[in-house]
Structure 1
Amino acid sequence: MTDDLQVATGLAPPKAFDAACRMVVDYLVRVVPLDTWAVTRVADGQQTVLVTADSGFGFAPGLSAAWAGSMCRPMAAGRTPRIVPDTREVPELERLASEAAAQGMQIGTYVGTPIVTDEGALFGTVVGLNREPVDPTLVDQEPLLDLLSSLLSSVLEADTAAVDSARALERAVSDAETDPLTGLLNRRGWERWLEREDERFRRFGDPATVVALDLDGLKTVNDSEGHAAGDRHLRQTAAVLRSVIRSTDPLARLGGDEFALVAQVGTEDADQLVDRLREALDAARVPCSIGAAPFTVVGGFPGACAEADAAMYEDKRARRDGGRPTPQVPHPRPTLPTA
């Protein structure tokens, strides 16, 4: 009897948001054939492609553009229709299409609908584009668009809740991954966190910044005042870092005088965070060399960590040579004119 209650794997609904996005895009390509369909994430002033089926615009996962210039922005604000068979007939979209044309992108048709969180905030969009205007009967697909948007919003809510529960469990069993001196994650805990979260951040396109820090002068403290003083120096550094970042942001002592953290903020807020970290550390007389780099869907956390380490060592060399530049988080260059 139990065999009769089993559902074939291919018939089970998707539980992960990225799988649901892929299913929706593939379905739209078959049912409403446009030159491009995509699911995007909107965060930190950028619109980033998560999943796409593209046959003419050059869209690919990880590519992004400024949200301010996106056709989806007036749609999400309710100023323009969600389905526009001819962008020349809607003044605001006509203007945006002209700006895109100046960059070599012709947009004759726009389709878009928001994906919202359980709190009603904008998460991203489902968007379709065509180079040429299409038949006005395209507007008849609005109920389908509503259905698919609701599907993705529901899967997003369920997947986010599952991820939050998994994170809470992981924090509860992390004693073996804690540095006993500072109470921070140790290197093993840090590497496991990055490995777990890399797939999750890529799935949702969440903004994040990796910050690498190296405590200046610890050897001098150990040599002149003893290792007990050096330990106090390390604990003080950990306390200062905790006081600046959010309690949910992972913070690790990787060994010796090396620290690292992931702040779940985009590049604009990350610049300010780096400034606050430097000011707080200097005020507490535990100065650090600092480097930071943004998480990207393409490079993931491995790429961001490598860039942050390189920036930190560059900062250390500059400080050693008498300069004191404030490291700025690299800002990804927009690669999609409008979406």
Structure 2
Amino acid sequence: MTTTSPTPLSAALTPFQNLAEATHQTLALLHNRLGFQLWMVTRTEGNDWIVLVSNDHGYGVEPGQVFRWCDSFCSRMVQGFGPNIAPDSRAVAAYLEAPIGQQVEIQAYIGMPLLRPDGHLFGTLCAIDPQPQPDRLHHELPFLQLQARFLSTLIEQDLQAQEMVRRLEHAQLQAHTDSMTGLYNRRGWDLLMATEEERCRRYGSPATIFVLDLDWLKQINDTLGHQAGDQVIMAAANHLRQTVRASDVVARLGGDEFAILAVEMAASDAESFAQRILDSIEAGGIQMSLGWASRDPRHSLQTTIATADERMYRIKQLRQRAASHLPTFCSYPASRSLRDPMPGSV
């Protein structure tokens, strides 16, 4: 049987390979149809406004750049203070007062929210131009709403698919586990960190890393024996495993050091999660030093874990200096007065 090359029409209807290609083509279509020097798909996380995809013809904005959400036109549009379409944005008080307008020349604006199925804001589809645009742009509102809904649907489907991929990755890396605790070992941790970093960059996703270290393990080994020390390690691992969410990664990095990669966890949720971890550990009579850091969109997860590790050791040193007696396994409470203030992000 012979095969034929696709016709120009069928080639134009070939499905996109991935979300990135579909988004790039959508922004190109919008630019060709409506003009505007810059089109973007963004994500909001706290006060970070992260550029995921851009179609730029003069502003010099690239994917991965991060701006202040509260400075943007889009933050005002989402709150209802300004319209979705502003052919002359200087005529809209909310946009005229926006700090971003003082940083770059903006005289026309389009903004559409990108929503999750539960109505929460994912980000925006938006465009700006240094020149005013024709008033007939208002007639494009139904078309723009449709494009925003399509993008929201594609993003949501891709996020759900990535969650399934994440679970498959976890299952496939079961071979990279620590023989004593059953948690991921250093190799498994490194592999899962690399794949999660790629997701963070692609979707602007948040993540938080917690680093924990057992206190007094050397003293326990020296006074009660290594078998008692192993029991402490295994008990700590069980408490961590029972505390985290199904999507999180828990690893024993070596010796008495553990780490948790909490995916899709923003800095605003990290402190309460850290408290839950410490409460679970304390309930088992185990004492650990904990430090955490949330990923900054400008940096990587490797930077994040380095910051979390530094904070953990700072706490550990404080606890050791304050200790006046040798604790024993299952008999000592953690000292709440020595806990870190838990600063938020890298």
TM-score by length of 1: 0.83
Contact 1:109–1:132 at 8 Å: present in 2 too? yes
- Which residue in 2 is equivalent to 1:251? 250
Cα drift, residue 224 of structure 1: 1.2
Task: Tell me how far apart the structure 2 counterparts of residues 241 and 135 of structure 1 sit (CA, whole Å).
Answer: 59
Task: Tell me how far apart the structure 2 counterparts of residues 198 and 288 of structure 1 sit (CA, whole Å).
Answer: 27
Q: Deviations over 1:176-204 (max 9, x none)?
A: 12223222222222112112222122211
Corresponding residue pairs, total: 329
Equivalent residue runs for 1:213-232 within 5 Å: 213-232=212-231
- Which residue in 1 is equivalent to 2:50? 48
1:309 aligns with 2:323: no
Equivalent residue runs for 1:118-133 within 5 Å: 118-133=117-132
Structure 2's unaligned 5+ residue stretches are 323-336
For residue 179 of structure 2, give the secondary structure of its aligned residue in structure 1. coil
Contact 1:85–1:134 at 8 Å: present in 2 too? yes
Cα drift, residue 13 of structure 1: 3.1
Q: Deviations over 1:96-115 (max 9, x none)?
A: 3xx445x5344322211122
Residues 321 and 107 from structure 1, CA distance in 2 versus in 1: closer, same or farther, beyond 3 angstroms? farther
Residues 279 and 119 from structure 1, CA distance in 2 versus in 1: closer, same or farther, beyond 3 angstroms? closer
- Which residue in 2 is equivalent to 1:33? 35
Equivalent residue runs for 1:184-195 within 5 Å: 184-195=183-194
| One-letter amino acid of the structure 1 residue matched with residue 147 of structure 2 | L
| One-letter amino acid of the structure 2 residue matched with residue 285 of structure 1 | G
Q: Which moved further from structure 2: 74-83 or 161-170? A: 74-83
For residue 141 of structure 1, give the secondary structure of its aligned residue in structure 2. helix
Task: Tell me how far apart the structure 2 counterparts of residues 290 and 56 of structure 1 sit (CA, whole Å).
Answer: 46
1:114 aligns with 2:128: no
Cα drift, residue 41 of structure 1: 0.7
TM-score by length of 2: 0.81
Residues 220 and 138 from structure 1, CA distance in 2 versus in 1: closer, same or farther, beyond 3 angstroms? same
Cα drift, residue 280 of structure 1: 4.0
Equivalent residue runs for 1:228-243 within 5 Å: 228-243=227-242
| One-letter amino acid of the structure 2 residue matched with residue 228 of structure 1 | Q
- Which residue in 2 is equivalent to 1:265? 265
Task: Tell me how far apart the structure 1 counterparts of residues 199 and 2 of structure 2 sit (CA, whole Å).
Answer: 34
Task: Tell me how far apart the structure 2 counterparts of residues 275 and 248 of structure 1 sit (CA, whole Å).
Answer: 19
Contact 1:237–1:281 at 8 Å: present in 2 too? yes
Equivalent residue runs for 1:1-339 within 5 Å: 3-4=3-4, 12-54=14-56, 59-78=61-80, 80-96=82-98, 99-101=99-101, 103-263=102-262, 264-322=264-322, 324=338, 326-331=340-345
- Which residue in 1 is equivalent to 2:326? none
Cα drift, residue 133 of structure 1: 2.9
- Which residue in 1 is equivalent to 2:334? none
| One-letter amino acid of the structure 2 residue matched with residue 270 of structure 1 | A
Q: Which moved further from structure 2: 300-309 or 51-60? A: 51-60
Cα drift, residue 284 of structure 1: 3.6
Task: Tell me how far apart the structure 2 counterparts of residues 146 and 181 of structure 1 sit (CA, whole Å).
Answer: 54
Cα drift, residue 66 of structure 1: 4.6
Task: Tell me how far apart the structure 2 counterparts of residues 317 and 251 of structure 1 sit (CA, whole Å).
Answer: 24
Q: Which moved further from structure 2: 179-188 or 200-209? A: 179-188
For residue 25 of structure 1, give the secondary structure of its aligned residue in structure 2. helix
| One-letter amino acid of the structure 2 residue matched with residue 301 of structure 1 | L
| One-letter amino acid of the structure 1 residue matched with residue 127 of structure 2 | G
Residues 62 and 55 from structure 1, CA distance in 2 versus in 1: closer, same or farther, beyond 3 angstroms? same
Task: Tell me how far apart the structure 2 counterparts of residues 271 and 228 of structure 1 sit (CA, whole Å).
Answer: 33
| One-letter amino acid of the structure 1 residue matched with residue 78 of structure 2 | A
For residue 126 of structure 2, give the secondary structure of its aligned residue in structure 1. strand
| One-letter amino acid of the structure 1 residue matched with residue 39 of structure 2 | W
Q: Deviations over 1:71-124 (max 9, x none)?
A: 32343355532111122433433443xx445x5344322211122234443221
Residues 301 and 16 from structure 1, CA distance in 2 versus in 1: closer, same or farther, beyond 3 angstroms? farther
Identity %: 35
| One-letter amino acid of the structure 2 residue matched with residue 195 of structure 1 | A
| One-letter amino acid of the structure 2 residue matched with residue 164 of structure 1 | E
Higher RCO structure, 1 or 2 (CA under 8 Å, sep 6+) = 1
Contact 1:290–1:327 at 8 Å: present in 2 too? no
Q: Deviations over 1:9-39 (max 9, x none)?
A: 8863334323333333344344333243211
| One-letter amino acid of the structure 2 residue matched with residue 34 of structure 1 | F
Structure 1's unaligned 5+ residue stretches are 333-339
| One-letter amino acid of the structure 1 residue matched with residue 84 of structure 2 | R
Contact 2:49–2:68 at 8 Å: present in 1 too? yes
